[in-house]
């Protein structure tokens, strides 16, 4: 049982958080409100205050769910104090990373610095864990796919030879929101790859693991769209035609928008990877991540809307995995409507909030013990539906991660590290780094091909 919880957030969020805690009657939760960290550092007063709390209250672990720009600040503080960590993805990002190649390279340095601190902390406290909330690793359908890959590999010694991955956030940002919105923003020079993108990089890397064909090099080429591309796809004139109240909420002319959004972060990012060993291709992967996708929005302002699972947001996701001529695995998860707690019909069918199916095809003539086709639904792998807006099979996987993290705090077991441990994220971080390096080079008119040693 956890009897004490401290919430650390910015002073700008004080009223919102206090109202939430009051509404939830959360009497065992104590808030601490801080000034925003400057230059990726905590000031000494803030650090001393946090240090005194963890010592006095004997705090064992922290959950880091800040904006990604602040992840490293709190992660390094936690490692310095030998605390277990469950941190939201990605491990780090940087302002204007889309147009500066050195910031893309910095992602690898950030990771290596944090791993070094983690290993040092474990010397003094072997029970601590540093897990990243890449919840697909805890998702039973993804575990099923990983198991199927391992079974075929053990019989054939053939690794994953190609992966096609797609994730669509289903978000429609209107022009003024693109300029001003600070939730999963573009206006600080990073975008979808620093938001949902890391989930996809990580699960592609994770599904490739477990063979003797470990690649030693990765080649990457990225293509992407930015907000200034968006307003050519669907123009200001289109907005005015389709939304009679558009100008009521629009603050910028096209010329102003283009000037302000010049170096804004990526909206969609389509990336081609070649994983090689001794110069030979082992696995080809296309990792395609879209913020600007199928949505259910038809209103001109996001004011008062839930930006996490509301405002017309619809999530869609797919993976197609090949193991040479022996196995094909197809994962499909397609929503058709915004999350609605009152909607209980057909939740597990295509278009439903909980829809997720896996199809496994195997070469049954090569091995007669294999079935040529097996189908699995997420319905057979979860406990049941969840309440309110925070529900869905991905939320179920997040809950598993959180339960395992809390279990570590209470018992000292490191079971969560079997699924997610910071030391397992090297290739995922390098994939994200390579994509941003490729984007920055393409933006400057340079060769976008990036090669990174693994």
Element housing 255 (H / E): helix 254-260
Q: What is the dihedral of CA 173, 353, 289, 395, to 10 degrees?
A: 100
Predicted local distance difference test score (pLDDT) of residue 230: 97
Q: 90-138: per-residue pLDDT in tens?
A: 999 999 999 999 999 999 999 999 999 999 999 999 999 999 999 999 9
Facing residues of 359 across strands? 330, 375
CA angle 128, 130, 136 (to 5 degrees): 130
Domain end marker among 132, 150, 171:
132
77 and 47 both lie in a single domain? yes
CA distance 174 to 250: 8
From CA 100, how far away is CA 441, in angstroms rounded? Answer: 8
Claim to verify: residue 257 and residue 320 sit in the same structural domain:
yes
List the beta strands (DSSP E) in 175-279: 217-225, 268-277
Same domain, 122 and 141: no
What pTM does this model have?
0.95
* CATH number, position 210: 3.30.360.10
* pLDDT bracket for residue 221 (50, 70, 90): very high
The total number of structural domains in the chain stands at 2
Q: Using CA atoms in the order 146, 151, 157, 160, what is the torsion angle rounded to 10 degrees?
A: -30
Percent residues over pLDDT 70 in the chain:
98
Residue 388 has pLDDT above 70, yes or no: no
User: Do 100 and 106 form a contact (C-beta atoms < 8 A)?
Assistant: no
Asked if residues 86 and 138 have their Cβ atoms less than 8 Å apart, the reply is no
Based on the domain organization, do 111 and 144 belong to the same domain?
A: no
Q: Which of 101, 132, 163 is the last residue of a domain?
A: 132
Q: Rounded mean pLDDT of 350-359? A: 95
Q: How confident is the model at residue 38 (pLDDT cuts 50, 70, 90)?
A: confident
Q: Label residue 37 by pLDDT band (50, 70, 90).
A: confident
With cut-offs at 50, 70 and 90, classify the pLDDT of residue 302: very high
Average pLDDT for residues 357-363, to the nearest whole number?
Answer: 98
Tell me if 99 is assigned to some domain. yes
Other CB atoms within 10 Å distance of the CB of residue 316: 19
Per-residue confidence (pLDDT) for residue 342, from 0 to 100:
80
For residue 356, give the nearest of 406, 396, 298, 408 by alpha carbon. 396
Q: Please state which of the ranges 136-150, 332-346, 358-372, 383-397 shows the lowest mean pLDDT.
A: 383-397
105 domain residue, yes or no: yes
Q: Which of 82, 114, 132 is the last residue of a domain?
A: 132
In a domain, 44, yes or no: yes
DSSP state, 374? E
* Domain span holding position 57: 5-132
pLDDT at 343: 78
Question: Are residue 290 and residue 251 in the same domain, yes or no?
Answer: yes
399 domain residue, yes or no: no
Instruction: Evaluate whether residue 275 is within a structural domain.
Output: yes
Q: What span, in angstroms and rounded, lies between the C-alpha atoms of 438 and 436? A: 5
pLDDT at 387: 63
Based on the fold, state whether residues 228 and 375 are members of the same structural domain: yes
pLDDT band at 174 (very low <50, low <70, confident <90, very high): very high
Average pLDDT, the chain: 94
110 shares a domain with 42: yes
Q: What is the CATH number of the domain that holds 95?
A: 3.40.50
Judgement on whether residues 241 and 149 belong to the same structural domain of the protein: yes
Q: Which pLDDT does position 446 carry in this prediction?
A: 98
Is the same domain home to 278 and 238?
yes
Give all strands of the β-sheet with 268-277 in edge-to-edge order: 373-377, 357-362, 327-334, 316-323, 162-168, 280-290, 268-277, 217-225, 450-453
**Statement to judge: residues 380 and 330 lie in one domain:** yes
- Amino acid 102: pLDDT: 98
Residue 297 lies in a domain: yes
Whether residues 260 and 334 fall in one domain: yes
In the structure, what pLDDT confidence band is assigned to residue 80 with cuts at 50, 70 and 90? very high
CA distances from 182 to 77, 179, 186, 399 (A): 25, 9, 8, 26
Same domain for 157 and 88:
no
Does residue 232 sit within a domain? yes
In contact, 89 and 64? CB cutoff 8 Å = no
Question: What angle separates helix 101-124 from helix 71-80, to the nearest 10 degrees?
Answer: 20
Q: Residue 299 domain-assigned? A: yes
Confidence category of residue 1, pLDDT binned at 50, 70, 90: low
């Amino acid at each position: 049982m956890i009897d004490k919880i401290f919430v650390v957030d910015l002073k700008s969020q004080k009223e919102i958080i206090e109202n939430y805690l009051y509404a939830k009657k959360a009497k065992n939760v104590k808030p601490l409100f801080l000034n925003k960290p400057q230059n990726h550092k905590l000031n000494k007063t803030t650090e001393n205050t946090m240090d005194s709390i963890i010592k006095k209250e004997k705090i064992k672990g922290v959950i880091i769910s800040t904006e990604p720009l602040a992840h490293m600040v709190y992660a390094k503080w936690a490692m310095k104090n030998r605390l277990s960590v469950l941190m939201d993805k990605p491990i780090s990002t940087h302002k204007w990373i889309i147009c500066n190649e050195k910031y893309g390279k910095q992602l690898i340095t950030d990771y290596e610095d944090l791993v070094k601190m983690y290993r040092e902390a474990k010397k003094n406290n072997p029970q601590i864990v540093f897990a990243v909330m890449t919840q697909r690793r805890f998702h039973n359908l993804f575990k099923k796919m990983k198991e199927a890959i391992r079974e075929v590999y053990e019989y054939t010694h053939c690794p994953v030879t190609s992966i096609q991955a797609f994730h669509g956030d289903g978000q429609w940002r209107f022009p003024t929101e693109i300029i001003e919105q600070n939730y999963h923003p573009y206006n600080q020079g990073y975008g979808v790859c620093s938001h949902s993108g890391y989930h996809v990089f990580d699960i592609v890397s994770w599904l490739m693991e477990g063979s003797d064909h470990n690649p030693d090099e990765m080649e990457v080429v990225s293509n992407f769209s930015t907000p200034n591309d968006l307003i050519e796809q669907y123009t200001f004139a289109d907005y005015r035609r389709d939304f009679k109240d558009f100008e009521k909420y629009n603050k910028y002319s096209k010329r102003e928008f283009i000037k302000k959004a010049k170096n804004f972060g990526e909206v969609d990012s389509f990336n081609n990877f070649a994983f090689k060993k001794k110069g030979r291709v082992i696995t080809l992967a296309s990792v395609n991540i879209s913020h600007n996708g199928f949505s259910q929005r038809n209103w001109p302002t996001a004011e008062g809307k839930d930006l996490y699972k509301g405002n017309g947001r619809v999530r869609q996701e797919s993976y197609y995995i090949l193991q040479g001529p022996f196995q094909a695995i197809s994962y499909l998860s397609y929503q058709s409507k915004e999350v609605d707690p009152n909607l209980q019909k057909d939740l597990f069918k295509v278009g439903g909030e909980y829809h997720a199916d896996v199809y496994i095809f195997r070469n049954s003539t090569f091995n007669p013990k294999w079935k040529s086709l097996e189908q699995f639904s997420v319905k057979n792998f979860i406990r049941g539906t969840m309440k309110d807006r925070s529900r869905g099979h991905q939320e179920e996987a997040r809950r598993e991660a959180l339960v395992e993290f809390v279990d570590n705090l209470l018992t000292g077991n490191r079971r969560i590290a079997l699924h997610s441990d910071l030391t397992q994220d090297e290739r995922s971080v390098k994939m994200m780094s390579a994509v941003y390096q490729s984007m920055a080079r393409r933006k400057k008119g340079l060769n976008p091909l990036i090669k990174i040693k693994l």
